[in-house]
A and B are shown apart, each in its own frame.
Chain A
Amino acid sequence: MSEAPLLRVEGLTKHYGRQIGCEAVSFSLWPGEVLAVVGESGSGKTTLLGCLWGDLTPTGRVTYRDQEMGALSEAERRVIQRTEWGFVRQNPADGLRMNVSAGGNVGERLMAIGDRHYGTIRHTAAEWLRRVEIDPARMDEMPTAFSGGMRQRLQIARNLVTRPRLMFMDEPTSGLDVSVQARLLDLLRSLTRDLGLAVIIVTHDLGVARLLSDRIMVMRGGRVIETGLTDQVLDDPKERYTQLLVASVLQVAG
Chain B
Amino acid sequence: MMADGGYNFAYLDEQTKRMVRRALLKAVAIPGYQVPFASREMPMPYGWGTGGVQVTAAILTPDDTLKVIDQGADDTTNAVSIRAFFARTADVATTTETHAATVIQTRHRIPEAPLTNDQILVYQVPIPEPLRFLEPRETETRTMHALAEYGLMHVKLYEDIARHGEITTTYAYPVKVAGRYVMDPSPIPKFDNPKMDGMAALQLFGAGREQRIYAIPPYTRVKSLDFEDHPFSVQKFSGQKCALCGATHVYLDEVVTDDAGGRMFTCSDTDYCERRRAAGFLP
Spell out A's residues near B (CB within 8 Å): 74-75, 78, 97, 100-101, 103-104, 107-114, 116-119, 121-122, 139-140
Contact = CB atoms under 8 A, between A and B. Distances in A.
B227 A117 contact: yes
B81 to A, nearest CB: 37
Interface in B227-262: 227-230
Nearest to A108: B155
A117 B228 contact: yes
A116 B154 contact: yes
B223 to A, nearest CB: 12
A122 B154 contact: no
7 contacts: A78-B149, A101-B162, A111-B151, A111-B152, A111-B158, A116-B154, A116-B227
B162 A104 contact: yes
B161 interface: yes
A100 B159 contact: yes
**For the side of the interface on B, what is the size category?**
10 to 19
B15 interface: no
Contacts of A101: 159, 162-163
A104 B151 contact: no
Contacts of A112: 149, 151-152
Contacts of B143: 74
B151 A121 contact: no
A121 B151 CA distance: 12
B279 interface: no
Nearest to B230: A118
Contacts of A108: 151-152, 155
A104 B159 contact: yes
B1 interface: no
B224 to A, nearest CB: 13
Interface string B139-175: 0000100010101101100110111000000000000
Contacts of A100: 134, 155, 159
B226 to A, nearest CB: 8
Given A116-B228, A140-B163, A121 B147 contact: no
Given A78-B147, A78-B149, A112-B149, A118 B155 contact: no
Contacts of B229: 117-119
A111 B154 contact: yes
Contact of B151 (A74, A113, A139): A113
A117 B227 CA distance: 5
Contact of A140 (B134, B147, B162, B230): B162
Contacts of A139: 162
B151 A109 contact: yes
B158 A103 contact: yes
Among B155, B161, B226: residue with most chain A CB under 10 A:
B155
Contacts of B134: 97, 100
Nearest to B133: A99
Contacts of A75: 147
A103 B151 contact: no
Nearest to B153: A111
Among A74, A78, A100: residue with most chain B CB under 10 A:
A100
Interface string B216-230: 000000000011111
B149 A104 contact: no
A103 B161 CA distance: 11
A103 B154 contact: no
Contacts of A78: 147, 149
Contacts of B152: 108, 111-112
Contacts of B154: 111, 116
Contacts of B159: 100-101, 104
B149 to A, nearest CB: 7
Nearest to A117: B228
B158 A107 contact: yes
A103 B159 CA distance: 8
B15 to A, nearest CB: 36
A88 to B, nearest CB: 20
Nearest to B135: A97
Contacts of A110: 151
A109 B134 CA distance: 14
Among B143, B151, B161, B163: residue with most chain A CB under 10 A:
B151
B155 A97 contact: yes
Contacts of B155: 97, 100, 104, 107-108, 111
Q: Which 4 A-B pairs have the closest CB atoms?
A: A112-B151, A111-B151, A111-B154, A118-B227
A114 B150 CA distance: 9
